[in-house]
Amino acid sequence: MIMVVLLYFGKSFGFSSNLRTICSMAGAGRRVKFFDFEWRKQQWNLLFLIGAIIGGYLSNTILATDEPMKLSAATIKDLQSLGIVFSGALNPEQLFGLQSFTSFKVICLLFVGGMMVGFGSRYAGGCTSGHAISGLSNLQIPSLIAVTGFFIGGLIMTHFLFHFIFSS
């Protein structure tokens, strides 16, 4: 639905382009050619990003509900064995709450994870919105390859690397 609205505005839906835009705005274009493009044309996408932040804020304030999330029992159990507590909230406090800034390990995890997201989405030319939604909607084979890649990476992380990362 969001994709259709943006197409109607004459834009294409792809969130990770914003990361490139931010680099360019910070002046990276002077040193690296990849960032030397007219980022002002991407301003609409940054506005979309600001809207997304506001949307998140509204969801947890005026639109907030007390109802806990219904996560499947199997996932709760698996994560418990990795030491991650499910409290009914969307995200684990221990990773994303304010306390995350007090653990060196968590800071590194979030930072490195973010780097992989940023690097990977630009390398693949898109993220979940650009490939899985916009790309697959337009029946693009490259997007199917990218989405397959997303899952290969995700499954390796979840079923293999998590045991090393979270077993303390």
Partner 1 sequence: MKFLKYILTGIAFGIIMAKSEAISWFRIQEMFRFHSFHMFGIIGTAVILGIIAVLLMKKFRLNDFHGEPIIFTDKNSGWRKYLFGGIIFGLGWALTGACPGPIFVSIGYGYLGMVLVAIGAVLGTYIYGVIKDKLPH
157 makes contact with partner 1 (CB under 8 A): yes
DSSP type of residue 138:
T
Binds partner 1 (CB under 8 A): choice among 8, 27, 104, 167: 8
68 makes contact with partner 1 (CB under 8 A): no
Q: Between vectors from CA 34 to CA 32 and to CA 35, what angle results, nearest 5°?
A: 75
Please provide the DSSP assignment of 46-101 as one string: HHHHHHHHHHHHHHTTTT---PPP---HHHHHHHHHTT----SSSS-HHHHSGGGG
CA atoms of 4 and 9, how far apart (whole Å): 9
Binds partner 1 (CB under 8 A): choice among 40, 41, 51, 81: 51
54 makes contact with partner 1 (CB under 8 A): yes
Which residue lies nearer to partner 1 by CB, 83 or 115?
Answer: 115
Binds partner 1 (CB under 8 A): choice among 27, 74, 104, 164: 74
- Other CB atoms within a 10 A radius of the CB of residue 24 amount to 20
Binds partner 1 (CB under 8 A): choice among 40, 90, 105, 163: 90
**Residue span 94-133 as binding mask against partner 1, x where in contact by CB under 8 A, dash where not:** -xxxx-xx----xx-xxxxxxxxxxxxxxxxxxxxx-xxx
